[in-house]
Structures are given as C-alpha cells and as structure tokens.
Chain A
Amino acid sequence: NAGVTQTPKFQVLKTGQSMTLQCAQDMNHEYMSWYRQDPGMGLRLIHYSVGAGITDQGEVPNGYNVSRSTTEDFPLRLLSAAPSQTSVYFCASRLAVITDTQYFGPGTRLTVL
C-alpha cells in the first residue's frame, strides 16, 4: 500500500504557465481533497470529491480546476499560474462517510515567479 502519492515534489513556474499536480491513492477511498498551506497558516480546502465523477469547490477554488475520472486519481490543474499560488499543496483521501480519518500525501512545493 503506497497510500496517497503526489507528484511532483517541487515545481517552479512562471506567471501565466499552466500545470497539473498529480494525486493518487491505492486505498479505494471515496473521498479525496486538495488543500493548500501557506507559511504560518493552517490548511485551506481548494476542491474535493466524494466519488468518481463528482467534484465540488472548497474555500479557495479560484484559479484551480479538478476532475475525478477514476476512484484512484484526483489531479489539480492550475490554469494560469500566479505568484499568489505559491504554496505547499496537499492531497488527502478518506474511506467513506463513517470515518473522518484523512490520509495526506507528502505535498508538492510550488513556486510561481
């Protein structure tokens, strides 16, 4: 069991570029989500998904798109990167409604110049 994996670990972008952060889990979890964490702050929810084909917005969705074509994968797309999106991004998953134990990936450190 690899758990929750994220790629890449580090990324530097120029303003206006687009990219996709990858997230995958092998635990057959229904729920997946993306958070961002800025220095000195807690995690803020960007988007989440309650199952394949279903996604919804979190607290800070602007500038990001997601899709969930399979149970395993939940990629996060930055449409046109801005310096304000410089952050550490964490993907998380949980099994189902009954439990709220979330498993987090190792994170992607993104810098937008």
Chain B
Amino acid sequence: DAKTTQPPSMDCAEGRAANLPCNHSTISGNEYVYWYRQIHSQGPQYIIHGLKNNETNEMASLIITEDRKSSTLILPHATLRDTAVYYCIVMNSGGSNYKLTFGKGTLLTVNP
C-alpha cells in the first residue's frame, strides 16, 4: 500500500470548515483513499473514501487532486464533537488486501 503523510495536529474554530490534508505521492492506479477518525477512547469510525472523483456524504467531502498524489478531507462546519484523530489511508479495494494500515494521523482540535 502507498504510504501517507499527514500533519500531526491542526486546530479549527467551531463552526468553521476544517481542511485536513494528506499526501500520498506513491499511490497507484487501483488504490483508493480512505479516511477514518478516532474520537478519544473509541473505535475508529469510517468517514469517506474515493478513487479519482471528489466525493461528498453526510459527514464530509473528499477532494482528490487530478494527479491523485494528495487529497483533502473537508468537514464543512466543524463542531466540538469533531475533535479526533483523523487517519488517511490508501489501499486496494477488496481482494486479499485486507489489512488497514493506520499511521499516526492528524489530531484535529476544534476550539469553541
């Protein structure tokens, strides 16, 4: 799987958009970008994933650059409950590649 690079921490004001970057310059053509988050002491939670096109769901938007070497997770209106560690993961979809490799992620702190 391609490795990812994320900033260790970020701050965001409550109600503002939180933009979390991720670099994955060695991503291959069949690898997806996944985002999970882990709120303190809880199990990781799936947020969103994408291959080439930008994606949006009820939680967030995912913007993937045209060369697919980086992406940004956008939380449009961050709340205090969005304070968590956010993990960007690149992997093949399905098949025998079952392992999710979590790095250290980005600690997002949403401030009142």
Q: Does B bind A?
A: yes
Q: Are A97 and B94 in contact (CB under 8 A)?
A: yes
| Mask: chain A, 14-50; 1 = CB below 8 Å from B; 0 = not | 0000000000000000010100000011110100101
A41 CB contacts on chain B under 8 angstroms: 104
**Contacting pair A33 B44 (CB below 8 A):** no
A100-B34 CB under 8 A given contacts A33-B98, A107-B41: yes
Task: Tell me the count of chain B residues lying within 8 A, CB to CB, of chain A.
Answer: 23
Contacts of B105 in A (CB 8 A): 42
Chain B 29-72 per-residue mask, 1 if CB under 8 angstroms from chain A, else 0: 00010101000011111100100000000000000000000000
- Nearest Cβ in chain A — how far from B33, in angstroms? 11
User: Of the candidates B42, B46, B99, which one forms a contact with A107 in the assembled complex, judged by CB atoms under 8 Å apart?
Assistant: B42
Instruction: Let me know if A64 is at the binding interface, CB within 8 A.
Output: no
With both chains docked as a complex, state the minimum distance between the C-beta of A79 and any C-beta of chain B, in angstroms: 23
Q: Which residues of A contact B41 (CB under 8 A)?
A: 107
The answer to whether A45 touches B99, judged by C-beta atoms less than 8 angstroms apart, is yes
| Any B CB within 8 A of the CB of A104 | yes
B12 to chain A, nearest CB (A): 22
Q: How many residues of A contact B (CB 8 A)?
A: 26
In contact, A106 and B43 (Cβ under 8 angstroms) = yes
- CB atoms of A58 and B99 under 8 A apart: yes
**B101 nearest CB neighbor, chain A only:** A42
For A109, give the chain B residue with the smallest CB separation.
B41
Which B residues contact A (CB, under 8 angstroms)?
Answer: 32, 34, 36, 41-46, 49, 87, 91, 93-95, 98-105
Q: 15 new A-B pairs (CB below 8 Å) besides A45-B100, A100-B91, A104-B43?
A: A42-B102, A42-B104, A45-B99, A48-B98, A48-B99, A92-B44, A92-B100, A97-B94, A100-B93, A102-B36, A102-B46, A104-B45, A105-B43, A106-B43, A107-B43
